[in-house]
Amino acid sequence: MKHAYIFPGQGAQFIGMGKDLYDQYPQAKAMFEEANDILGFRITDLMFSGTEEDLKQTRVTQPAIFLHSVIAATCEEFTTDDLRFTIEASPTAEHFDNGEANNRQSSIVNRKLKPDMVAGHSLGEFSALVVAKSLSFADGLRLVYARAQAMQRACEMEESTMAAILGLDDETVERICGEITNYELRITNEASPDCNESSPNGNEETPNRQSSIVNRQSVVVPANYNSPGQLVISGTIAGIDQACQRLKEAGAKRALPLKVGGAFHSPLMQPAAEELKKAIEQTQFETPICPIYQNVDAKPHTNPDEIKANLILQLTAPVKWTQMVQAMLADGATEFSEFGPGNVLTGLVAKIRG
């Protein structure tokens, strides 16, 4: 019997997330306050009592979910009641990373249990690395904040979006996306003169690398393999529109555009990947206490160099969540505990298990 800890990605956030932890556990309060100091603004105010618009900002959303996830997993002797949040729960538990979480309920039980393996969906991979002690809490938060800002800048460079495809096999989605996509991504080494922003610690400026995409209207790729019959695609507006039409004609039950600001986990995130690469390479990674199953290859890793290389690739590669869960099950996982806002990954695990 093996116990897997899993961590959600962007889209699971809700106003009030983490407030119970802050109020009940001194350790949680100390970690939240440390995060406020690291970020240079009181993210707790936005998490606990901000507006939906505040929380939807990428620079807020990603560190907020990271904090809730890591702090929930770090505090000891949780009970179900301690971590049950209900915010306008809907009848379904469908979730698409980087989209909107439909089910706002969360229930976590943990009594000093040590993970045998960890995994995170997209952003959640950083939470998993901190809980597995490969990254320090402070370094993990700095990388997440740098990632959020880099992704936001990449989104502003190219108009793009994502869509959820339901009820169609992966091979058909892959084939149609491949038939539509025809692009060439060019990255220059020249920093954009008007896109510099301070790094999370305020000490350095991170240049935004310029890029150009030829035939940008035709970019569309698989982005999130969430569960059998549920795959999210990512690309330019025109590419997504064309793909949705063709996928519905091919038999998809639904082709649902998502309310997101960019084409995450696609070639259009290459500028963000280039920007984040330097920050990752300069950060100290340790050997984790247990294997982490990473998004890009769905395989378990403990080598810090391999972990870093996969993190750099993650922004432009698809999230292989289905394959990750299948690999964990094959390696003996019998129990999955989800830490963070929502319980969508738990639902996806159930679907993958069948």
Q: Which residues are catalytic?
A: 122, 265
* d(C-alpha 228, C-alpha 18), whole Å: 31
3 state SS of 224: strand
How far from chain centre, in Å, is Cα 32? 20
AA identity, residue 278: K
Q: Return the C-alpha torsion angle 193, 195, 196, 201, nearest 10.
A: 180
**Which residue's structure tokens are 């696609």?**
266
Number of other residues whose CB lies within 10 A of the CB of residue 331: 14
Side chain identity at 176, as an amino acid letter? I
Q: Which helix (H) or strand (E) holds 345?
A: helix 344-353
Q: Give the C-alpha distances (Å, rounded to integers) separating 84 from 23, 105, 110, 128, 228.
A: 14, 7, 13, 21, 28
DSSP string, 228-261: TTEEEEEEEHHHHHHHHHHHHHTT-SEEEE---S
Reference 3, options 119, 93, 83; nearest CA is 119
- Are 319 and 7 contacting, i.e. CB atoms less than 8 angstroms apart? no
State the pairing for strand pair 117-120/292-293. parallel
What is the amino acid identity at position 344? Answer: V
Nearest 5°: phi and psi at 107? -140, 120
Q: Is 280 helix (H, G, I), strand (E, B) or coil?
A: helix
Q: How far apart are CA 41 and CA 354, in angstroms?
A: 44
